[in-house]
Structure 1
Amino acid sequence: MSDTITYSYNQPSTLRKSGTSDELFLAQYSEVQKGNSPCFFWGKLTDPFIVSRCLITLSNVVKSSFNLSPFQMALLKDPIVTAGNERIRFEGFSHCAGVYARVDVMPDGHDGEFLENGTTNVDFNPPMISALSAVRKNENVVLSVGQKEVGLHREGEKTVERKVPLPIKWIKGLTTVQIYLADATEEVKGNRIQAVQLFRTIPKGKVKTDYYLVKRGNQWMFSPMKSNDAICIGGVHRLKLLEPLIPLIDEFRVFPHPDMQSTTWQLYFGTVRFSLTLSRDHWRGFSGEGAALESLIEDVPDEWIQAFDNYSYANQAFNPTLLAIEESLDMAQIKNITARLAAMGLLGFDLDHNEYFYRRLPFKMDRILSLNPRLKGAEKLVAENKVTIVSEESGRVEASVEGSGVNHTVVIDGEQARCTCTWFARHQGERGVCKHILATKKKLQVND
């Protein structure tokens, strides 16, 4: 399976100077188009200086890696931009997929028109970064997501086509990040001065041990010593990506995952937000966590997925609880539908509004299995009759799953599940369940 999805553009992204204003054009492409408008959004930014600094920081995240070789780091990828629901969102991952960043330009952050809801891949080439760096305060900058015009250029002008790879692991990472964000809660809130003081406590150089966010008196600080109510950051050196923005913020908030699988840092600049989500360990990528696997084992009709995709596209938001009430659906069904939409990269999560937002990414419904090899392996185990239910009583299930030269024992007791395979022994369920547990749960559904 290829690890990229190839894009073709009619023209590269550019920042054009015209008179007293600059116009930022982001090249647009989508595998599936719901509308015919060549332009998603067109309008002025109310605070272009802050937006430009946030986009430069986002680009630095995309260029960074915390576990890959210099050669792998040279294969730069481009961020994603979504226009819809009166908001413009830029997203991207580090190369190792262990750091996720997002820039949200809120409704008051622009003065323009949304001609079409859509998602595109953004071309962050060196001239673009240079142009963004030159944006000054109180400068008039027009942002265009998509193309303002479509046409062939003649008489010395030409149509430019540029291919940009979108990593499959980004879609896999988007799935896990949104699930972690949906479970995260705000634990820390502070102002600019507190943020400056806190970031001064980040140790210099690369950190090889876990660091924690702790409170000493009235001051927050980073410490290698774990204490009660401490928030695990993991590789704290990754937060250095935020240092250029800290002097500009109004406030910051920290949202840890309940099981400390991730921490999200949100920086607020009035009409603009910057979010940075870190995986539990610096060497762990979100693309390999498998947080959605158990929600994907139950079959959901493709027409349901298509219907809820259309619903999300029309509303540009997805509230599972309200939808369950409105459509009289069981919450378990809604959870499975949500997992599938997220697994195709169609849903992001907004912490401040506590709801999913919609993004249009290249997807096919049959791509879920290819994106989740453990799920594909579980389906194969069930299809080849390699799962035997040994006993089932009082909510406790024991199964034998045939492996390569050895049989694995799976025990499911209520909400707890364990397996004798090496994957479970290594991760203890922290990175999603193994294919043997998935296959056993799938087998139980088939028997029912």
Structure 2
Amino acid sequence: MIHYRYGQPSVLFKSVQHENLLLSNYSEVQKSSEAPCFFWGKLNNPFLVSRCLIALSNVVQSGFSLSPAELAKLKDPIVTAGNGKLRFEGFSQCAGVYARLDILPDGLDGEFIAHGTTNVDFNQPMISALGSIRQQEQLILSVGSKDLTLHKEGVKISEKKVPLPLKWIKGLTTVQIFLSEAAISHTFNKLQTLQLFQGIPKGPVKNDYYLVSRGNRPMFSPLKSPAAVCIGGLHRLRLLEPLLPYMDKLCVFSHPQMQSTTWQLYFGSLRFSLSLSRESWRGFSGEGAALESLIEDVPDSWVDAMDKYSYANQEFNPSLLAVEEGLDFRHVDQLTARLAAMGLLGFDLDDNRFFYRRLPYRLDRIMSLNPRMKDAERLITEGKVQILSNKEGKVDARVEGSGVLHTVVLEGEKARCTCAWFSKYQGDRGVCKHILAVKKMRTNS
């Protein structure tokens, strides 16, 4: 006899205007076919949710290094339902600003019928409907595999699923890696935050600014000082200004190498975070942050097993996973990097956990989104990499380029190359294909 265990019961929702029967579906470790609905229910604070979604839409419609024509192309938030939470994510058009709204379990009164992710286009009717929501007004939200719908005072506004931009998948890879490496640096109350934002200069800011605290008062300074947090493109923080009157507190998280900063606002059962890339012209989609984690060969079966584990659990802490399952920490990091490289993982700073996005599982996406790694593998396959010496922690190698022979030296954690890419970026945009090729050959030989 086979017993089927359903994660959620089937539910009949009744309201004055609607009746909806949502049937539960069965799934073990394998992913089931897409359920028609992931979540259906009331929002406990629809006014604040609507303001946060409008702010997220403003981020998606903004751009800090693009023309007006390029800005008009994409307006699509990603919506993920899982583990009692709804998460809305989006990037600016230049992919240098990442925003996310997390609606926590206390902010929802409904049922999660299935775990899932969809990508919808917020058009003007949806923005207008969100803008018209008043305090204490009731709002029903449904999120499904094909659409997202608001039910408001007898009016239904739906947005259909649209393709997920490739640039966003690349950005999801980098920003989640940066988030997983970030640490909290400051916590400010509402008054401190309002005072801080009053110090943002008018107009675009070309030079770096630094977040410092003098006494109990935080401020932005153009002068670098010890323990200061570096912020490039400070003017991008103005995207948070419409939400400041409603916030309870602000937490600032910084990357250890200052590659990004994340500004997280708290509103009871809601969190809104804004992550900024190092400079306003630099998008998260081109950072190359995942490259180092992709060097060592990992069996496809391991990646597939990690995908199934993530899908079944929806959230996990990689260190705890390694301890509980007796796995090597390095292998777990490599596996999470590969799932992130397919856009399948996000990172929750407060919970210190990855969360799962249900996107198409495609191993070939890893290489298609990381062309430098693909080029490095081609250099090895074509026999263009020669390791001359490898002793006492130092590697000396030659890599054949286009009519030139590059010298690569690895020494401890440091690496250098004579190519133009390394000379220009000095490792700030990820390592070059020549260093990648030498590291991969050394590691997998």
TM-score above 0.5, yes or no: yes
Q: What displacement does 1:277 show?
A: 0.2
* In structure 1, C-alpha distance between the alignment counterparts of 2:321 and 2:219, rounded to whole Å: 41
Structure 1 match to 2:369: 371
**AA at the equivalent of 2:224:** K
Residues 403, 36 of structure 1: CA spacing in aligned structure 2 closer, same or farther, 3 A cutoff?
A: closer
Structure 2 match to 1:430: 428
Structure 2 unmatched ranges of 5 or more: 1-14, 21-29, 148-157
Mapping for residues 16-35 of structure 1, pairs under 5 Å: 34-35=32-33
Q: What displacement does 1:326 show?
A: 2.6
**Is the CA contact 1:386–1:401 (under 8 Å) kept in the aligned structure 2?**
yes
**AA at the equivalent of 1:143:** L
Q: What displacement does 1:196 show?
A: 0.8
* TM-score, normalised by the number of residues in structure 1: 0.89
Structure 1 match to 2:241: 243
SS of 1:82's equivalent in the other structure is strand
Structure 2 match to 1:338: 336
**Is the CA contact 2:120–2:161 (under 8 Å) kept in the aligned structure 1?**
no
**AA at the equivalent of 2:324:** E
Q: What displacement does 1:77 show?
A: 3.2
Q: Deviations over 1:187-246 (max 9, x none)?
A: 110111111111100111111111111112321111212122211111100000000000
Q: Deviations over 1:53-78 (max 9, x none)?
A: 00000000000000011111111230
**Is the CA contact 1:292–1:343 (under 8 Å) kept in the aligned structure 2?**
yes
Structure 2 match to 1:415: 413
* In structure 1, C-alpha distance between the alignment counterparts of 2:186 and 2:442, rounded to whole Å: 42
Q: Give 2:44's match in structure 1, choosing from 39, 43, 46.
A: 46
Q: What displacement does 1:297 show?
A: 1.8
Q: What displacement does 1:443 show?
A: 1.2
Structure 2 match to 1:285: 283
**AA at the equivalent of 1:344:** M
Aligned CA-pair RMSD: 1.9
Q: Give 1:68's match in structure 2, choosing from 62, 66, 69.
A: 66
Q: Give 1:81's match in structure 2, choosing from 72, 79, 82.
A: 79
**AA at the equivalent of 1:389:** I
* TM-score, normalised by the number of residues in structure 2: 0.89
**AA at the equivalent of 2:337:** A
1:362 and 2:385 matched: no
SS of 1:164's equivalent in the other structure is coil
Runs of 4 or more above 4 Å deviation = 18-21, 160-163
Q: What displacement does 1:111 show?
A: 0.5
* In structure 1, C-alpha distance between the alignment counterparts of 2:249 and 2:119, rounded to whole Å: 29
* In structure 2, C-alpha distance between the alignment counterparts of 1:144 and 1:446, rounded to whole Å: 48
* In structure 1, C-alpha distance between the alignment counterparts of 2:287 and 2:255, rounded to whole Å: 14
Point out the more displaced range, 121-130 or 99-108.
Answer: 121-130
Structure 2 match to 1:316: 314
SS of 2:134's equivalent in the other structure is coil
Identical pairs, percent: 67
**Is the CA contact 1:80–1:121 (under 8 Å) kept in the aligned structure 2?**
yes
**Is the CA contact 1:88–1:106 (under 8 Å) kept in the aligned structure 2?**
yes
1:122 and 2:120 matched: yes
* In structure 2, C-alpha distance between the alignment counterparts of 1:42 and 1:58, rounded to whole Å: 21
Q: Deviations over 1:311-339 (max 9, x none)?
A: 11111112211221233221111111010
Of the two structures, which has the highest relative contact order with CA contacts closer than 8 Å and spacing of 6 or more? 1
Q: Give 1:296's match in structure 2, choosing from 291, 294, 297.
A: 294
**AA at the equivalent of 1:317:** E
Q: Deviations over 1:255-277 (max 9, x none)?
A: 01011100000000000000000
**AA at the equivalent of 1:144:** S
* In structure 1, C-alpha distance between the alignment counterparts of 2:358 and 2:232, rounded to whole Å: 32
**Is the CA contact 1:77–1:166 (under 8 Å) kept in the aligned structure 2?**
no
Structure 2 match to 1:396: 394
Residues 67, 271 of structure 1: CA spacing in aligned structure 2 closer, same or farther, 3 A cutoff?
A: same
SS of 1:75's equivalent in the other structure is coil
- How many residues in Structure 1 have an aligned counterpart in Structure 2? 411
Residues 274, 163 of structure 1: CA spacing in aligned structure 2 closer, same or farther, 3 A cutoff?
A: closer
* In structure 2, C-alpha distance between the alignment counterparts of 1:146 and 1:362, rounded to whole Å: 16
**Is the CA contact 1:57–1:242 (under 8 Å) kept in the aligned structure 2?**
yes
